[in-house]
A and B are shown apart, each in its own frame.
Chain A
Amino acid sequence: MRQKLVLHFPSTVVEQPFVYHLVKDMKLMVNILKANINPRKEGRMVVEVSGEKEDFLEGVEFLQSRGVKVFPLEQEIVWVKEKCTQCGACTVICPSGALSLKRPEMEIQFDDDKCIICEYCIKACPARAMEARY
């Protein structure tokens, strides 16, 4: 299975290794999409975790037992197609390739599997056709 998670690290555990154990002990593939981790401060990470279901559940349990709060990622970036003028300004701003042009038609395509929710597109879109939803 594969799921995007939001992890909240209390300041007391933020300096402990977690990803190491998820990878090494539970054999999970951890893709860090966004991280804000600083010494002695509360941290936040958005990760995509994939692996066997039991390993996944074990991983979540492990994180929770160490005081990390685990939430499913509910925020998403939505492409409002009716507002999109099909220009292409977003395609060089999107760092993950989620927004791209289909060639030769030059039509915008949005692949939300590739979206890392950096939100750069929201203000880069002159037509304001990209929206963050929670």
Chain B
Amino acid sequence: MLVKRTYEEINAKIRAGKAVVVTAEEVVSMARERGVEETAASVDVVTTGTFGPMCSSGVFLNLGQTKPKIKIKELYLNGVEAYSGLAAVDAYLGATQIPETDPANKRYPGDFNYGGGHLIEELVAGKEVLMEATSYGTDCYPKKKAEKMISLEEMPQAFLFNPRNAYQNYNVAVNLSDKTLYTYMGILKPDLGNANYSTAGQLSPLFNDPYYATIGMGTKIFLGGGIGYVSWFGTQHAPEAPRGDNGVPLAPAGTMAVIGDLKQMDPRWLRGMSFLGYGASLMVGIGIPIPILSEEILRHTAVGDDEIFAPVVDYSEAYPQGTGDTLGQVSYAELKSGEITIGERVVPSAPLSSYPGAREIAAMLKEWIQKGEFMLSRPAFTLPATNEGVDYMKSVGPAFSE
């Protein structure tokens, strides 16, 4: 039996409260028990989730005008600089920005207790922050200095716009040197003391749609506890990374840029992070529904942790020097067991991405869809599957509609 579904058919079932929705974790055992064909015939949507540190994140803010008006040149929010080389009171606050006063790694390893990510979490939590703005003054924007407490509610607009999130696969970080390393992959103890990894494996969005058959510009997603959209392929999107027989990349590959209204998000799913000796970041919760338009799409969602492999990379030399060397591949099943084998050595492994968080997001999204509260959207075009960039001609016209 050839399974074929359209977005319209799936949405009609969602509206009627009849859609069959399972998580990317549930579908693995389902497909193994019943087979791909039967599972594809019964399942309409598979929900995915990930909740991990995503440094390339930030928010566009419009702070609202002052009287008289100001064209902000330099802007600080709780001491954290936001880029304001935009129109008058627009700014972009990045997750890894730290206050000017932070000693950073002058006292190595630096604590980085506060940064852009923490500020974003506080804004979403409804806290007031100190805004300090300066300018040079113009005829149309005479004010040169503004200082006040401001909350997200008072800002006319604010949207999360993350240029690179939800990496499809990522390095397993280890340390071959004889001193401790402090990295964005956490603390790496010397001489293969530990191995840190950072994806949700079988639950992670792009592992479930490895060739981007359904995910693209305009895909409606769970973002930071609210609704968001995939807005573009992310920076460093590398679809031509080596892949296994099941199509799953064996190295960091696809990425996405995502967008969503900050005002409807939840601080639980946007958390400020402090990485000792590295800096501040933001932990972002993302969940993407995958419409089961065909058996092939279901087959890809049914890939389990034992069939997904990540490269082991030395962060004392190979990563910082960009040599491209790896120490082999390990499966996510091994990584999740708490121990991996590198050569002759057994090395303890730990995640930086929250698997329980990923599972909860996938379950929430499943519930929203089951209740008929969340419809699937057809992307304008899918993420590019080659290095050529977006193939606008392959926009989701005929191939994806009826």
Contact = CB atoms under 8 A, between A and B. Distances in A.
Is B truly associated with A? yes
Chain A contact residues (Cβ within 8 angstroms of B): what range?
Answer: 20 to 34
A127 B356 contact: no
A89 B356 contact: no
A19 interface: no
A93 B194 CA distance: 8
By CB atoms of chain A within 10 A, which of B196, B276, B281, B350 has the most? B350
B5 interface: no
Interface in B81-113: 111, 113
Interface stretch (B245-253, B267-275, B308-316, B319-327): B267-275
B351 A126 contact: no
A87 B52 contact: yes
B336 interface: yes
A126 B281 contact: yes
**For the complex, would chain A's binding face be called helix, strand, loop or mixed by DSSP majority?**
loop
Interface of A: 85-93, 101, 103-107, 123-124, 126-128
Contact of B349 (A86, A92, A128): A92
Interface string B271-291: 101111000010100000000
Given A103-B336, A105-B356, A85 B283 contact: yes
Given A86-B354, A106-B356, A92 B189 contact: yes
A2 B307 CA distance: 48
B351 A127 contact: no
Contact of A85 (B113, B348, B349, B354): B354
Given A85-B271, A87-B52, A126 B186 contact: yes
B234 to A, nearest CB: 21
Interface string B338-357: 10000000001111111111
B274 A126 contact: yes
B338 A103 contact: yes
A104 B359 CA distance: 12
Contacts of B355: 86, 88, 106
B60 interface: no
A126 B352 contact: yes
B260 interface: no
Contact of B352 (A89, A103, A106, A123): A89
